[in-house]
Structure 1
Amino acid sequence: MNTYDLIVLGGGAGGLTVAAGAASLGANVALVEKNRNLGGDCLHFGCVPSKAFITSAKKVFEAKKSAETYGMTLSGKPDITKAMARVKEAIAEIQAEDSHERFQDLGVDIYQGKGRIIKEHHIQVEEETDIKGKRVVIATGSRPVIPPIQGIESTSYLTNETTFDVSKTPKRLLVIGGGPIGLELAQSFARFGSEVTILEGNSTIFGQEDEDVISVIKTQLEKELTFQLNARVKKVREENGTKVVTYEQSGYEENIVVDDILMATGRKPNTDDMGLDKIGVNLDDRGNIVVNDYLQTSKSHIYAIGDTNGKFPFTHAAGMEGKLVVRNALFGIKGKVSYENVPWVTYTDPQVFHLGLTEKEARENHHIKVFKVNTRDVDRFVTDRDLSGFIKVITDHKGHILGAHALGTNAGDWMQEIVFAKTQGHKIGDISNVIHPYPTHGAILQQSADLYWRGKLFDGMLPKVAEKYIQWFR
């Protein structure tokens, strides 16, 4: 039986971070992955393919818009198979970075197959190979949740795992679920010509976002998508090559006939059938592994990161957790995890950026100041004719950044400066002193910081003192 310093279960973003980091520091590492290729859901079914598809859809959309704006004639229909080919190309190129050979060259032993914990330090791979580890990291990711809808078991549908294999654009597409995955894919299909309806059980979309963001992004997306809110799907059936979906809304049942259904009803951690119950690893009622601030499970030598612990279901958060676990598991440094400075972006068009507290959350515990700048007041956005977005920065009374939110084209890119500022403990006013080339989108951050100084310098006693000094000074 081979014995390791660290065994990693799962070869996705978090697991690969742990395996590469630990091996580079001299640890003897085993990586167990059930699929043929490394990279996990993000590479093969999530972040990478969806962003490649979104980019293709945006090019189609901009081509149509440009033709209308500049009096050109655009002919033909977009071929979705071309977009899916680009998706596969992107996956293949990134897959090379996550190859078996690369990790083997780092000194990682790779075991292909499903890993199960048979004893506290023992992992069995496909009932054939047993390995032993001093420490174990569970990073097995998640999969789509399919709710128990009447008739769903006999009805074909898409998920994020099958969407990128479609060979034609559905004329009428129903998306069940209005979360980030559903919204991103819905808009992309709409731009390829689908008539898209979204059924969402809540009263709004983007429920975790700042209230100012919700109202604007909903209005923007309604130009391309049809929303049915407070809607609960009751049953589905296939009929003459189409799908008939019955849903309840405001006490009434409605039917909608579509050509395809995309299930975007959330994610479920891949923690079942791993033997966790046999050794006493605690799970919550959703199947998430319960961890402490050091990402340890109820068995201190076993750690859980990424979608398996249900804390912060983003690829970049899994990578951050993975780095922390390398320190904690190998060296016992006992660093605590913190999500305070971890942003997220929803890649609709326009993009929605989120960092820290919303205004409502901040007001509950802080005396706050809010600095808001609209894109129509920033020259670069004006030249781009991108006038419907904004930035909103929330600080305490001393200028410490509590939260930042933005809506706009590529907001996830031009908001990175404030992530750095918050992470490093800078105040909002510090950004005002950074020289931004003119004209750039990042100037919107500088203008928000200028608002801070304007209030600081010109609304207090300083103008009166300055006036007296100027009169005195010769």
Structure 2
Amino acid sequence: MAHHETDVAIIGAGTAGLAAERSARQDGARTLLIDEAFRGTLCASTGCMPSKLLIAAANAAYHARGAGVFGVQVENVAIDGRGALERVRRERDEFVAATRASFEDLPAGTCITARARFANQNALSLDNGDTVSAKSIVIATGSYASIPKPFKGIGDYVLTNESVFEMQDLPASLAVVGGGAIGLELAQAMSRLGVDTVLFDHEDTLGGARDSDVQAAIVEIIGQELPLHLGVDIAVKKSNDRVQLSWSGASSGRREFDRVLVATGRPPAFEGLGLDTAGLELDEHGVPVFDRTTMQCGDAPIFIAGDANANAAVLHEASNEGSVAGHNAASYPSVEAHPRTVAFALTFTDPPLAILGESAGEHALTGCASYADQGRAKVDARAKGLVRLYAAAPHGRLTGAELFCPGADHMAHLLVHAIQRGETASDLLDMPFYHPTLEEGLKSALREICAATSAPLPSGRASDDPPGA
């Protein structure tokens, strides 16, 4: 047993924790990074990267089957489930190894392998018997895959995003419970890989899209690839060597599946952390109340970043939050507010779904562009989906967007940068749009916003569409 004294103690060595440690150390603070296993980041191990590897395999199969539209005949598209999952794990393990290598670059004595528990606002007890005193503490414990109680009784038949990639082969059939980003991505991927997949959700919407037209497009397009049962309640039980799901509500039925993938949420990982001992104000979900611009919990010497605060569970936000938390933890009690970047979330379905910024309220100006007849999308045989842009009156300053269309993951960057810079629809229309590209499809939505403002439409190349744009 040993006692450690430090300036900043960080609990959790994921994306937010690593960013917090680096930021605090760069500000001259002594740091300790405490983690129970130092497995690597969630993104690399069970999140962003393995899911995208599976999606890449699924899209390869899907596009091979559809190549006939171009006069390219691909015979006998067969799925090697074992091979696909082996590649996912092999490439995933390389990403994980890269994140683990970053631990070795930290100064000697920085990392402590243990579980931490608050003793008070400036002290931690570790499960290895050690104790830690710190001027300030950063909570970066991440999140975990929640399994609702009814599904816990079916044992290994239930999968989460933390276990699905460990399967040795693809199941013949799969029920996906949850229509958020994880559920949507994995359901479509599994279906494209030949798994008989059905998606269920208690809500009647998918992916978090706010606009009713975008939402309708998601349901229609995803529903063309796999059955959707939305607005339903589910009961589950074992049935010999399978799982039986019964559902009722907007639709009803009963069916057996080989496996069930539960994607109903990832709450913060606070078990054993002793938040009650830390004396922090908690919200109705048991999450410490904190300032989004400083990451500080109340006026305590405690900061919280990443998935642990249940605010914006995406990697770039976790990294930014960790940097702010580390900086303020190092300078405490002097705390500096940092403006947040524009909200930005992507779901890597096909087509991708992007949700940016805010709608600007009931008086927002809006513009819509359909991709069902867009030139480049038709060339690529991907003509489907739409874009909804939001802007503030009276000048058409862009405030948000929802895109569910080909290239949305790339075009969203153009738009989120414009939103953060405070640009108007007219400003964007004054920029060059190359022909033929997917970006050209944005112009009709931008013009619709301009028409509702006092801003004149730009003349010349930005307004005159070539045929098929």
Aligned equivalent of 1:22: 24
Q: What corresponds to 1:197 in structure 2?
A: 198
Deviations, residues 1-22 of structure 1 (Å, cap 9, x unaligned): 3322211111111111111222
Which runs of structure 2 are paired with 1:273-284 in the superposition (5 Å)? 273-284=272-283
The one-letter code sitting in structure 1 at the alignment partner of 2:307 is D
Which digits, 9 at most, give the CA deviation of each residue in 1:5-61, with x for residues without a partner? Answer: 21111111111111122223332211111124221x222111111111111111111
Cα deviation 1:361-420 (Å, max 9, x = unaligned): x343xx332122223564433322322122221111211112111112231112211111
Quick one: which amino acid aligns to residue 259 of structure 2?
D
Corresponding pairs, count: 453
Residues 142, 319 of structure 1: alpha-carbon distance in 2 compared, 3 angstrom cutoff: same
Q: What's the counterpart of residue 434 of structure 1?
A: 431
Deviations 1:214-258 (A, max 9, x none): 00111001111111122212231131x2211233335x9742111
Please state whether the residue corresponding to 1:142 is helix, strand or coil. Answer: coil
Q: Secondary structure at the match of 2:325?
A: helix
For residue 283 of structure 1, report the CA deviation from its aligned partner.
2.7
**Deviates most, 65-74 or 312-321:** 65-74
Q: CA RMSD in A?
A: 2.6
**In 2 relative to 1, CA 289–455 (structure 1 residues): closer, same or farther, beyond 3 Å?**
closer
Q: Which residue does the alignment assign to 2:329?
A: 329
Q: Describe the superposition over 1:268-320 as per-residue Cα deviations: whole angstroms up to 9, x where unpaired.
A: 21112111111212333323222134221245210111222122222222122
Does the Cα contact within 8 Å between 1:28 and 1:107 map onto a contact in 2? no
Amino acid at match of 1:191: R
SS at match of 1:405: strand
Contact 2:391 2:398 in 1 (8 A): yes
Aligned letter for 2:300?
S
SS in 1 for 2:76: coil
Task: Identify if the C-alpha distance between structure 1 residues 151 and 96 changes in structure 2 by more than 3 Å, giving closer, same or farther.
Answer: closer
Question: What residue identity is the alignment partner of 2:21?
Answer: A
- Structure 2, unpaired ranges of 5+: 460-469
Partner of 2:391: 395
Correspondence 1:285 to 2:284: yes
Counterparts of residues 141-180 of structure 1 (less than 5 Å) = 141-149=142-150, 152-154=153-155, 156-180=157-181
Give the SS at the match of 2:203: coil
Which region of structure 1 is more displaced relative to structure 2, 212-221 or 223-232?
223-232
TM (norm. structure 2) is: 0.88
Q: CA deviation at 1:93?
A: 3.1
Alignment of 1:179-190 (within 5 A): 179-190=180-191
Structure 1 unaligned blocks of 5 or more: 463-474
1:33 to 32, 35, 52: 35
CA–CA distance in 1 between the matches of 2:401 and 2:152? Answer: 43
Q: Which of 412, 417, 422 pairs up with 1:415?
A: 412
Choose which of 433, 440, 443 in structure 2 pairs with 1:443: 440
Q: Which amino acid aligns with 1:439?
A: P
Structure 1 counterpart of 2:295: 295
1:111-130, aligned counterparts within 5 Å? 111-130=112-131
* Higher RCO (CA 8 Å, separation ≥ 6 residues): 2
Matched letter for residue 373 of structure 1: A
1:467 corresponds to: none
After superposition, give the CA deviation of every residue in 1:115-174 in whole Å (9 maximum; x if it has no partner): 222232222332322222211110111111111217725562111111001122211111
Tell me the amino acid that sits aligned with residue 434 of structure 2. Answer: P
Question: Percent identity over the alignment?
Answer: 25
Q: In 2 relative to 1, CA 372–414 (structure 1 residues): closer, same or farther, beyond 3 Å?
A: same
Distance across 1 between alignment mates of 2:100 and 2:414: 32
1:235 corresponding residue in structure 2:
236
Q: Is the 8 A contact 1:122 1:131 kept in 2?
A: yes
Query: CA contact under 8 A between 1:31 and 1:108: conserved in structure 2?
Result: no
TM-score, normalised with respect to structure 1 = 0.87
What letter corresponds to residue 384 of structure 1 in structure 2? D
Q: Aligned partners of 1:226 and 1:416: how far apart in 2? A: 31
Residue identity matched to 1:410: G
CA distance in 2, matches of 1:253, 1:67: 37
What CA distance in whole angstroms lies between the structure 2 residues aligned with 1:308 and 1:395? 32
1:304–1:36 Cα change, 3 Å:
closer
